[in-house]
Amino acid sequence: MSFFDANSPEEYYSDLQKHINDGTVWSFEGSVGRAAMNAIHLGCCLLGPQRARDYWGNTIPSRDDVVPGTPGSAMYVSEKQGNEWLALIAPELALEAA
């Protein structure tokens, strides 16, 4: 399933997070990367586990490169959306941020 076909915000952001995690979101057209960055700044998604490069060669930091509590970190997602949301998009991190 593509996040373009999501039936709910939970599906959309969960699928978007999968593409952020594997780095593919940064190789899509610019509007998709901008949507991913917007989701990160809103606290609906977090940065991927490893650094990535976008189409233009810009470095996208990993979730470990940012300060906890700032956009892209698990703590930021938990603070903005709640630990239940974090468990939805990144179950492996939900307890860590609690």
Average pLDDT, the chain: 90
* Stretch 6-13: mean pLDDT: 91
Its pTM stands at 0.89
Classify 72 in phi/psi space as left (phi over 0), alpha (psi -120 to 50) or beta: left
pLDDT digits (tens, 9 = 90+) for 74-94: 999 999 999 999 999 998 886
Domain residue limits, the chain: 7-97
Q: How far apart are CA 37 and CA 39, in angstroms?
A: 5
**Does an H or E element contain 96, and which?**
helix 94-97
**Which of the residue ranges 15-19, 28-32, 55-59 has the most confident prediction, judged by mean pLDDT?**
15-19
Classify 23 in phi/psi space as left (phi over 0), alpha (psi -120 to 50) or beta: left
pLDDT digits (tens, 9 = 90+) for 35-71: 999 999 999 999 999 999 988 899 999 999 999 999 9
